[in-house]
Amino acid sequence: MTAIAVRPVGDQRTDVDAVPLRRVVGVELRKMFDTRSGFWLMASIVITALLTTIGTIAFAPDADLTYYTFAKAIGFPMTVVLPMIAILSITGEWSQRSGLTTFTLVPRRTRVIAAKVVSSIAVGVVSMLFAFVIGAIGNVVGTAIAGTDMVWDVSLAEGLNIVLGSLLCLLTGTMLGMVIRRSAGALVAYFVYAFLLPTVSGVLASSQEWFRDLQPWVDLNYAQAALFEGTLTAEQWANVAVTASAWILLPALLGLRLLMKSEVK
């Protein structure tokens, strides 16, 4: 009779559990570019940056041709595209029904989600650095064409604030992807989140005096807008921290808990 070696229960290990996070991040980055929709979504970052730069040079008054004008013009479409990238990354396993394969190869869902978040943030940071470079080129070319002096009116601290504001937009998409786990629903929810709710909040603040002082503490978009306008006061930083915790962090923790228990098909 052939002897059968039995591994002790406490020593049971699988190779798939040892998949390093950096490898999973690499896979998630490739998945962002592999599909046709993913490729064109990434390409839209480059396309919109170039179009907004050309539009700023062509239509902005000569006096407004400063580095901040270019950076802000390029940054606005980034705040729309980056959350969409994060949403599609998070919801891919559920919308494309590839979750069974993914979570079989990497059983720890937290590792997969962490890789998706890291890869989305990496894409966001690189995209913003690209936007700053294109903005600098636009500032040089635009002022040369207009015959005006070049103005570099974005400090390092202000640039970091702009990056942080863009990443908060991206993390909003991440949060919605975790909570809803369906691409179409999360995208619709994001546009409601980013455009409808701030409009309602603005109308309420303009018509109700009691809400005017409360708005910076409950309206994420209002508090976040200060990051794109320059340096922040201590109170404005507190506004960002409170609203980001209430609208991004807490829902993301709830979404992660639901995601860990959701059925994968």
Can you spell out the DSSP letters for 139-152? HHHHHHHHT-----
Other Cβ atoms within 10 Å of 211 Cβ, number: 15
pLDDT at 115 over 50: yes
Closest CA to 129 of 231, 45, 36, 5: 45
Q: How many CA atoms lie within 13 A of 39 on its CB side?
A: 3
| Reported confidence tier of residue 15, pLDDT bands at 50, 70, 90 | very low
User: How far apart, in Å, are the Cα atoms of 100 and each of 17, 92, 93?
Assistant: 15, 12, 8
Give the tens place of pLDDT for each residue, 137-182: 999 999 999 888 888 988 888 889 999 999 999 999 999 999 998 8
Could you give phi then psi for residue 251, rounded to 5 degrees? -60, -35
Averaged confidence pLDDT in the chain = 85
The answer for residues whose C-beta is within 8 angstroms of residue 31's C-beta and 6 or more apart is: 38, 89, 92
User: How far apart, in Å, are the Cα atoms of 112 and each of 38, 116, 145, 174?
Assistant: 18, 6, 49, 13
The answer for residues whose C-beta is within 8 angstroms of residue 60's C-beta and 6 or more apart is: 69, 142
Single-letter code of the amino acid located at 119: S
Give the tens place of pLDDT for each residue, 188-230: 999 998 888 889 999 999 888 889 889 999 999 999 999 988 7
Which residue would you say has higher pLDDT here, 123 or 4?
123
Give the tens place of pLDDT for each residue, 240-257: 999 999 999 999 999 999
| Reported confidence tier of residue 16, pLDDT bands at 50, 70, 90 | very low
Q: What is 187-207 written as a DSSP string?
A: HHHHHIIIIIHHHHHHHHHHH
Q: What is the pLDDT of residue 139?
A: 92
Q: Are 255 and 179 in contact (CB under 8 A)?
A: yes
Could you give phi then psi for residue 60, rounded to 5 degrees? -75, 145
How many residues are listed for the chain in this entry?
265
Q: Span 113-117, mean pLDDT?
A: 91
Other Cβ atoms within 10 Å of 64 Cβ, number: 16
SS3 content of the chain, % helix, strand, coil (to 5): 80, 0, 20
Q: Are 174 and 161 in contact (CB under 8 A)?
A: no
Other Cβ atoms within 10 Å of 196 Cβ, number: 10
| Reported confidence tier of residue 105, pLDDT bands at 50, 70, 90 | confident
Q: How many CA atoms lie within 13 A of 143 on its CB side?
A: 18
